[in-house]
A and B are shown apart, each in its own frame.
Chain A
Amino acid sequence: MQEFDYVRVQSVQEAVALLAGEENRARILCGGTDLLVQLREGQRQARLLVDIKTIPELNQLHYDPVNGLTLGAAVSCLRLCQDETARQLYPGLVEAASLIGSVQIQGRASVGGNVCNASPAADSIPALIVHRAVCRLVGPGGERQAAIEQFCCAPGKTILQRGEILVSLHLPPPPPGFGAGYLRFTPRNEMDIAVVGAGAAVILAEDQQTIRWARLALGAVAPTPLWVEAAGDFLAGRAADAENVQQAARLARQAARPIRDVRGEAAQRSQLVEVLARRALETAIQRARAAVH
């Protein structure tokens, strides 16, 4: 393991100051489940690790009907998955978080860390996209917000500026008729990285048949998690039937730009996108209907 120093900070300001001052050689340590592997294998370099996981602001997990869910960037997947409100209102996100690694990983890994690691295959990001999450960032220049779909810019790269950290994620409250789901395809049943991931959310009209609004997002088929706007645009105002869902899935397949790597072939990914997009939409619709009852 490369040599580095370690400091635990108790406030966002302290973290920002350290990260801004260390000439890019400081890195944020949260759960460490990605970072420590990357440091050990030399994929990332660091001279200083800034441990942010005990900053109170990064550990918020609360819901209110006006502002929705506030998810501190350091909240572990395990804590999120055990939160009853989150399970009920943000099923897509909880499903995604429950798929990130083993129980051992979930106890350490945070959703914020999964987002900042910016893997094209990150499970949480498509789910956050369909839940319309907004990132709250704090840096030397102050505070700003960014939509989750704008957060990643390349594999392993985000919009975070030097010294800037992700403090929390904000998910609006689900409106009536809302349903969401996330699923992924992996060769093994757990302990694997998505070959393709798909998140979907819909809002159904009172008739439970018409889709008022929909979002579809994909993982592992582009350099960053991919929001398929065309699929949502297509579905808005249409009947929640098999034909339209299938058409939306085809649009997802068209939007995907998969590559071949150690985990799958490009053609296989294209086929999977269509299947998974359809299944994710079906789950979202089913949940939206169940939520009304």
Chain B
Amino acid sequence: MSADPQDSVQEAAPAYRVIGTRPIRQDGLDKVTGRAVFGADVRLPETLYGAVLRSPHAHARLLSIDTRQAEALPGVKAVVTAADLPAITLEGDWGDNLRYQSQNTLAADKVLYYGHAVAAVAAVSPHIASEALRSIQVVYDPLPAALDVRQAMREDAPILLDTLRTDSLGQRGNQPTNVASHARFERGDLEQGFAQAALVVEREFETATVHPGYIEPQNASAIYQSNGQVTIWCSTQAAFGIRDDVANVLQIPVGQICVIPTEIGGGFGGKNSAYLEPLAALLSKKSGGRPVKMAMNYSEVLAATGPTSASYIHVKVGVDRDGLITAAQATLVYAAGAYPGSPLWGGMPAIFGAYRVDNLRVDGYDVVVNRPRSGSLRAPGAANAVFASETVMDEICEKLGMDVLEFRRLNGVRQGDRRSDGVPLPRIGFHEALQAARQHPHYTAPLGGPHRGRGVACAYWGNHGGKSSATASVHADGSVSLLEGSVDVSGTRTSLAMQLAETLGIPLEAIHPRVADTNAVAYTEGSYGSRTTFATGWVVYELGQKLIALLSERAAILWETSPDQVQFAEGVFSHKGGEKRLAFKELAARLDETGSPLMASVSLAAGGAGPAFAVHLVDVEVDPETGKVQILRYTAVQDAGQAIHPGLVEGQIQGGVAQGIGWALHEGYVYDEAGRLLNANLLDYRLPTCLDVPAIEPVIVEMPNPRHPYGVRGVGEIPIIPPPAAIANAIARAVGVRLTQLPMSPGRVLAARLARDA
């Protein structure tokens, strides 16, 4: 057994000046005064308003679309349908992907879900635009719909995509199917592992489709000039991703498109890909280059933008008498929505990611169904997977009479253990987090009443690195402008500026961070995968080093020496062995004497994203007569690596937990038999209000990521993973029923309780 945390050698924490402090975030002032410009706040002269006509059917052939009446309506300037989109002729999987993106923008010959876009109009007012939609005549030939994965996998299921063939473990099928792919992680000997087990628990789970639920609907404003240049303003997590999507759908080169990301009213993975942007551009083109502004209403957001997958999950885990896991098996069947691409890549590594399992098999199936194309949602695919595995682990603990944290201490992964996909783990902070949870007063506090229970769940999340870019300019007053390619969805202007200030040894106030448009900075991946503070932070560190090197050259000019005679420490350049010193600000003021102004750029592809681990404790009280669950107390322990701005890290943890609480208890798409979404509004799609979440206590454990210059790990995604499982386990301890479906709505809790008593 590897060493316990107390035995491990803790490197002395470096003394930082800026990192680890809690400055007021730089975008805050504009946000509390109402001056911050979000996508729908963009105001351009002569703006037209766009609107989208959507399918009332879950599955239907599009026989005809007659837009003549709409076009004739006074005030209507343009109408577009799939006929206005260029054909995508590229062959192969990538070609299919582009066709799917195009068809999801505007349905071509079939509509595949309730809310699928069919046509779009631009008019001089939003009211005229919606009147125009009502005058478009569409003839549908309704088809039977396949709404859930098990229905869609049946042999007689309606087929959504005629050309789809299963990619099963690298083999391509030859029959029409709704199963897009089957993937597997496997090691050891599963049969032998289960044979060694003293206890095997096997359960089935179902989880509902849920939505990221950002409060700001998707929006886009676009100008398509006659010279072919397209400018798009929108709320997105991924300006370059939108640029590439628009280029693909409209088949124009990326160089003709400039995406200007505005402030973004929440994304959580849901604002990575394009919906309205290509339509706004196309409508602008058709209306002679006038700006076209589009914003979804919330019904459209829920019905037609990427929710995360509903799922069916089967879990089987065996343990020996001491509680050591001997084998673990899972099958994850994820609803991709109308086109392939459910987040199995997130769920499969996560389901047993926190455990050392020598005999393991995880199978994943990506299945298309007549629901909107799934997108990312904060640790995509993981919370539902971990709901399944962590409730099984809890049941094992209950049956063995074992302390739930002791079970994790015994079985939890450590440095050098292999992930489910086989890759060995680097230095991680799981056991430090487990220890912090065990030592937290919450873990031993009395529950204080009947029908109360305490639940625990843990999670692993891999985090992502990837490509980022930034540019910095040094000004004569010693300030530095930082142009970065990452959209700020979580305060990253501040956490990046802090890393640059730390590197340059100057005050944070001297850094002016700004999110750049796609023409102002080199390619940068979207702000997803908990990557920005890590990967773009690394870019910013390298950028600081580059500026220091360039400034050292300038100091050398002033001091008539060679650059290698200039050294830099704590914001001051000095002449080796000499008396000459120039603080950063003093040197900046003298740049003119040394020739040209000074700027630098860095791009890199960051590997080495440090995995994150979380341990959550929750107390609930269940009303045994109504099934309603109240959350009384919530503590979320997380290894955050080095926390650059602990306040922002806490905010990510609290927000992620609140979102997980919604997933656990309240949220879920409700369709009728015909596939119409019945709760496409924020009254019946229930995001938690401030009365539904308790004061969530974040506990930050800092195990620096050895692969990052400042020890950063991603923090944003993992907090959403444990809540459904932790709450399910708390309910089980409170009223003795184990819920196997999400959401654990009052009706389900009550029904389970009544069924047990019957």
Contacts and interface: CB of A to CB of B under 8 A. Distances in A.
Interface of A: 1, 3, 185, 187-193, 195, 262-265, 267-268, 271-272, 275
B398 interface: no
Nearest to B688: A188
Interface stretch (B146-154, B355-363, B589-597, B747-755): B747-755
A187 B628 contact: yes
Given A185-B628, A188-B691, A190-B691, 14 more contacts: A187-B665, A188-B666, A188-B692, A189-B689, A189-B691, A189-B692, A192-B686, A195-B746, A262-B670, A262-B684, A263-B684, A267-B751, A268-B747, A275-B626
Nearest to B678: A262
Top 7 A-B pairs, shortest CB-CB distance = A189-B691, A268-B747, A262-B678, A275-B625, A262-B670, A188-B686, A190-B691
A188 B626 contact: no
Nearest to B299: A41
Contact of B750 (A192, A262, A263, A268): A268
A77 to B, nearest CB: 17
Given A3-B127, A271-B750, A262 B625 contact: no
A264 B683 contact: no
- The residue in A188, A190, A193, A265 that gathers the most chain B C-beta atoms within 10 A of its C-beta is A188
Given A191-B683, A262-B679, A272 B692 contact: no
Interface in B666-720: 666, 670, 678-679, 683-684, 686, 688-689, 691-692
B691 A192 contact: no
B745 interface: yes
5 contacts: A187-B746, A189-B691, A189-B692, A272-B626, A275-B626
A190 B692 CA distance: 8
A85 to B, nearest CB: 28
A192 B683 contact: yes
B678 A187 contact: no
B745 A187 contact: yes
Interface residues of B, number: 24
Contacts, number: 50
A1 B127 contact: yes
Contacts of A191: 683, 686, 689
Given A192-B683, A262-B670, A272-B626, A185 B691 contact: no
A268 B751 contact: yes
Contacts of A187: 628, 665-666, 686, 745-746
Contacts of A188: 666, 686, 688-689, 691-692
Interface of B: 127, 130, 625-628, 665-666, 670, 678-679, 683-684, 686, 688-689, 691-692, 745-747, 750-751, 754
Nearest to A279: B625
Contacts of B745: 187
Nearest to B685: A262
A193 to B, nearest CB: 7
Given A187-B745, A188-B688, A271-B754, A193 B626 contact: no
A15 B746 CA distance: 45
A189 B666 CA distance: 11
B135 to A, nearest CB: 13
A190 B691 CA distance: 7
A267 B746 CA distance: 12
Nearest to A102: B689
Contacts of B626: 185, 272, 275
B754 to A, nearest CB: 7
Nearest to A269: B747
A28 B645 CA distance: 53
Nearest to B128: A3
A189 B745 CA distance: 13
B692 A185 contact: no
Nearest to B662: A188
Nearest to A263: B684
A33 to B, nearest CB: 12
A55 B164 CA distance: 64
B568 to A, nearest CB: 55
Nearest to A276: B626
B289 to A, nearest CB: 28
A262 B679 CA distance: 7
Given A1-B127, A262-B684, A190 B747 contact: no
- The residue in B127, B670, B683, B688 that gathers the most chain A C-beta atoms within 10 A of its C-beta is B683
A211 to B, nearest CB: 23
A221 to B, nearest CB: 14
A129 B244 CA distance: 61
A264 B747 CA distance: 7
A190 B683 CA distance: 10
A3 B751 CA distance: 47
A135 to B, nearest CB: 27
B628 A265 contact: no
A271 B628 CA distance: 13
A275 B628 CA distance: 12
A193 B683 contact: yes
A188 B667 CA distance: 10
- The residue in B666, B678, B679, B747 that gathers the most chain A C-beta atoms within 10 A of its C-beta is B747
A188 B627 CA distance: 12
Contacts of B666: 187-188
A267 B754 CA distance: 11
B486 to A, nearest CB: 34
B396 to A, nearest CB: 30
A178 to B, nearest CB: 27
Contacts of B691: 188-190
Nearest to A262: B678
B665 A190 contact: no
- The residue in A192, A265, A268 that gathers the most chain B C-beta atoms within 10 A of its C-beta is A268
A262 B127 CA distance: 29
A193 B631 CA distance: 21
A262 B681 CA distance: 12
A192 B665 CA distance: 14
B132 to A, nearest CB: 13
B746 A185 contact: yes
A183 to B, nearest CB: 11
A189 B691 CA distance: 6
A103 B130 CA distance: 31
A4 to B, nearest CB: 11
- The residue in B678, B679, B692 that gathers the most chain A C-beta atoms within 10 A of its C-beta is B692
A209 to B, nearest CB: 25
A264 B670 CA distance: 11
A271 B626 CA distance: 8
A271 B625 CA distance: 8
A124 B750 CA distance: 27
Nearest to B666: A187
A193 B684 CA distance: 8
A272 B746 CA distance: 10
Contacts of B627: 268
A185 B750 CA distance: 13
A49 B47 CA distance: 30
Contacts of B625: 271, 275
B688 to A, nearest CB: 7
A187 B754 CA distance: 18
Contacts of B670: 262
A267 B692 CA distance: 25
A267 to B, nearest CB: 8
- The residue in A190, A193, A272 that gathers the most chain B C-beta atoms within 10 A of its C-beta is A272
A100 to B, nearest CB: 13
Nearest to B126: A1
Nearest to A191: B689
Nearest to A275: B625
A195 B627 CA distance: 13
Contacts of A275: 625-626
B265 to A, nearest CB: 19
A195 B666 CA distance: 14
A194 B689 CA distance: 16
A267 B691 CA distance: 27
B118 to A, nearest CB: 18
A195 B751 CA distance: 15
A198 to B, nearest CB: 12
